[in-house]
Each structure stands twice: as C-alpha cells, then as structure tokens.
C-alpha cells in the first residue's frame, strides 16, 4: 500500500501553497501549521513532508521553529527540506525534530557535501530531492534549471547509496492536473529498488490509486487537501 505523505509548505511561519514553484502564486491556507499537522495526525496520518520555502529562497534554513513545534506537538515522522545547504543547516533540521532531511539543490551544487551527509547519517535519514522539468533537475527553489539530466543524476546517487527519492514534476505541482505517472513508471522500471515518493499534480483519490497501482511507494500532496478535492476521510483506505 502506498505511503500517504501530506505536505506543509511554509512561508513566514504560515501554511501556504504555490503553483509550479512560483512565489507570486502564494496562497495562505492556515496561519498555524501545527494545527494542520495535528489534524493530519488525528486522522491517522503518520508521515509529514515539511518544506521551508523561505529557506529555499534564502539558501539557509529559516522556519525551523515551526518544525520544532510540529515535532513537539505531534508524533508524526517528519522529513524536512528547503534551504538545507550546510552542515549547520542539517544539524538545525535534525535538532529541531526532523527524522529525515531532503537535499535537492545541494546534491547538484555540492555533491561532495551531500555524499558526506549520506555517509554520516545513512540512506534512511538523507533523501534525495529530484525536482524535474523536462527531464532536467531544477535548483534554487525551482527558479533555475541545471544541466543535470534526471536518469544519470539518479544513477550516480543510487551508486553512492541513495535509496529514497522525492521526485516532483514541476509542470504539475500545485496545478491539480494529475501526477506524472508515466515518468514515475519509467523511473521505477530503471531503478526497481528505489523508494520513490511522487510529488506534484495529485488532484483526487483516483490519482493516488493510480500511483499505487503503478507501484509507486509513496505520494506527497498538499493542495488537493487544502482545496477540499481530497478529504482526510478519503485517505483512510490507505492508512
């Protein structure tokens, strides 16, 4: 059964969503992300994906206090990303209660440091973020496209011990237009041992069913929940 991972994206300490990573499209859904996390937990959710969008934009962790409060007030297993660019950022994330940390831009720009984290903390705690646009990896809060092609990028890091990957198709993110199932099938065909968490585009329960049937291990989504296209009650069949 596919793992259900709701997302909480944070700007100015508030729970927000963007469309295709565009900060100008920001919509605030709740002033208090802890309330949102507690409601998820009360409905049987066990995992949470927290993104520090301020951190992603400013290249260092910013909203760690929110992470800390979620960790203190819930027992959710949290993975945290956004602005984790140094040993200090990583330390702050883990000390603030993250059980896992996602590195995206850092894996492109400073592979040596990312591999060091992988060695020190292990593949259970360090997740590779692969944010994709037309099969190329995007960096810096998706504002820039890198020269890295998706499949060689994955092959390289799996060879270095990566086992968990969050893959967001940027063209789908926040658009409620359905996930990139063909892309995920292609990834799993090439890397069957990959613990792939699909992110972006989920608009209804049928999308989650389709990802599950495609063999995708985990799904991350937010806007569909916040906009009421999926209810927490709908998710009970997966929990």
* Backbone φ and ψ of 147, nearest 5°: -85, -5
Catalytic residue check, 206: no
Tell me if 229 sits within 8 A of 205, measured CB to CB.
no
**Annotated active-site residue in 89, 131, 169, 173:** 131
Can you tell me the distance from the alpha carbon of 110 to that of 93, in angstroms, rounded to the nearest whole number? 18
Classified as helix, coil or strand, 113 is: helix
Catalytic residue check, 79: no
For residue 204, give every residue at least 6 positions away whose Cβ sits within 8 Å of its Cβ, in sequence order, or none.
224, 229, 230
> At CA 24, angle to CA 18 and CA 25, rounded to 5?
40
| Catalytic machinery residues | 9, 131
């Amino acid at each position: 059964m596919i793992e259900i991972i709701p997302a909480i994206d944070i700007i100015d300490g508030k729970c927000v969503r963007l469309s295709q990573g565009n900060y100008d499209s920001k919509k605030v859904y709740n002033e208090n992300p802890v309330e949102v996390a507690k409601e998820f937990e009360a409905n049987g959710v066990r995992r949470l994906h927290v993104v520090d969008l301020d951190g992603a934009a400013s290249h260092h962790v910013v909203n760690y206090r929110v992470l800390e409060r979620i960790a203190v007030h819930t027992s959710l297993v949290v993975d945290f990303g956004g602005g984790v660019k140094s040993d200090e950022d990583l330390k702050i994330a883990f000390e603030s209660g993250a059980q896992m940390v996602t590195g995206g831009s850092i894996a492109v720009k400073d592979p040596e440091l990312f591999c060091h984290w992988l060695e020190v903390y292990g593949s259970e705690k360090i997740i590779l973020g692969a944010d994709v646009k037309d099969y190329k990896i995007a960096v810096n809060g998706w504002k820039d496209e890198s020269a890295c092609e998706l499949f060689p990028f994955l092959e390289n890091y799996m060879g270095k011990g990566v086992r968990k990957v969050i893959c967001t198709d940027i063209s789908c993110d926040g658009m409620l237009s359905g996930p990139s199932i063909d892309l995920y099938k292609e990834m799993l065909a090439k890397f069957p041992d990959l613990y792939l968490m699909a992110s972006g585009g989920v608009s209804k329960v049928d999308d989650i069913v389709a990802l599950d049937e495609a063999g995708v291990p985990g799904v991350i989504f937010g806007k569909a929940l916040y906009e009421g296209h999926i209810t927490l009650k709908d998710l009970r069949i997966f929990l």
